[in-house]
Structure 1
Amino acid sequence: MNALVTARLILHPLSPDQAERIVAGAPDARTSWAPGYPAAGDVAGAMRFLSVCASSGDPRPFGAYEIRRRDDGHAIGGLGFHGPADHDGAVTIGYGLIPSVRGQGYASEALRALLAFARAHGITRVRADTDHANDASRRVMAAAGMRQVAEDARLRYFETTWADGAG
């Protein structure tokens, strides 16, 4: 499967072997990690991906992606699908960056690319959530075109929908 490429980023699809290396904190010789990568969220995302692989097989292209900067190739975060689409064509996504690169528009750029990819592959709805206190994540989702659809005592829920699932 090919990487998704944006103006400043490469969204590299993870294999189960690469996800295991993230969980172990052990990059392979071909991967360059920025200081602070993987963060706790990257490890949690890799573990979720491995759990999906173990229960229902490798979900690619609706798997996990490592966010790498194009200019130096360093991994700076991750994003991806929590699993394959459900029977209605909906997926749930998550994303995160290491603290040292936040506030530079990387998360919005990566999320826009993932949303375009989902739509081009027949997805009709993309869901995500964030803690009430995480205003940065709320701004990222809004910048990528997602809208808040609900909230509860702990989380705000966002989604993007398309009638046709194709862009």
Structure 2
Amino acid sequence: MDGLVTARLVLHPLSPGEAARVVAGEPDGSVRWAPGYPAAVDVAGARSFLALCGEDGDPQPFGAYEIRRREDGHAIGGLGFHGPPDHGGGVTIGYGLVPSVQGRGYASEALRALLEFARAQGVTCVRGDADRENVASQRVMSAAGMRLVAEDDRLRYYRIAWADPRR
């Protein structure tokens, strides 16, 4: 898979080797990193992806993706699935951008593309969460069509579901 392309972004599926470089903070020279990349959330996501690969092998296309700007090729964040669909066809997602590019609609654009891709793959529902204080992330999920379904003292939980996912 070459990646998911949007108007302004490429969602590049990370290989285990690329994820290891993100964790180590060592670019390989083929991709330029925007200032601040990888952020702590990118490193945590890459570590989780590597752990998943170690347990069950590379889960692509339900793995980690690096968000790259089409205009300059810079990696500006990450998003992806926390693993393949569960027995009910559902997946959980996560995402993040470096602070220097936040507020430009990149996260919403990337999440919409990932949701469309998940639906085309037969996924029946996608779940995500955000800290209660992270209003920007809550807005991203709402803008992408996800609905608030629950909350607790720490997190707000979002979900989108499709009766016929491949339509």
TM-score range with shorter-chain normalisation? Answer: over 0.9
Runs of at least 5 residues in structure 1 that lack an aligned partner in the other structure: none
Give the corresponding residue for 1:135. 135
1:106 aligned to 2:106? yes
SS class of match (1:133): coil
Percent sequence identity over aligned pairs: 71
Alpha-carbon distance in structure 2 between the residues aligned to 1:129 and 1:140: 11
Partner of 1:148: 148
Q: What CA deviation, in whole Å up to 9, does each residue of 1:86-143 have, x standing for no partner?
A: 0000000000000000000000000000000000000000000000000000000000
Cα offset, 1:164, TM superposition: 1.4
Q: Look up the SS of the partner of 1:103 in the other structure.
A: coil
CA distance in structure 2 between the partners assigned to 1:88 and 1:166 by the alignment: 15
1:126 correspondence with 2:126: yes
Q: CA RMSD in A?
A: 0.5
Q: Secondary structure at the residue paired with 2:100?
A: helix
- 1:32-75 deviation line (CA, Å, top 9, x unaligned): 10010000000000001001100111000000000000000000
3-state secondary structure, aligned to 1:94? strand
CA distance in 2, matches of 1:142, 1:29: 36
Deviation (angstroms), 1:2: 2.0
Distance in 1 (alpha carbons) for counterparts of 2:163 and 2:47:
32
Would you identify which runs of 4 or more consecutive aligned residues in structure 1 move more than 2 Å? Answer: none
Q: Which residue in the other structure is 2:22 paired with?
A: 22
Q: TM-score, normalised by structure 2?
A: 0.99
CA distance in 2, matches of 1:2, 1:22: 19
- Count, aligned residues: 167
Per-residue deviation, 1:29:
1.6
Q: Secondary structure at the match of 1:107?
A: helix
Question: Which amino acid in the other structure matches residue 70 of structure 2?
Answer: R
Listed as ranges, the matches of 1:43-62 within 5 Å are 43-62=43-62
Report the equivalent of 1:13. Answer: 13
Deviation at 1:165, TM superposition (A): 1.7
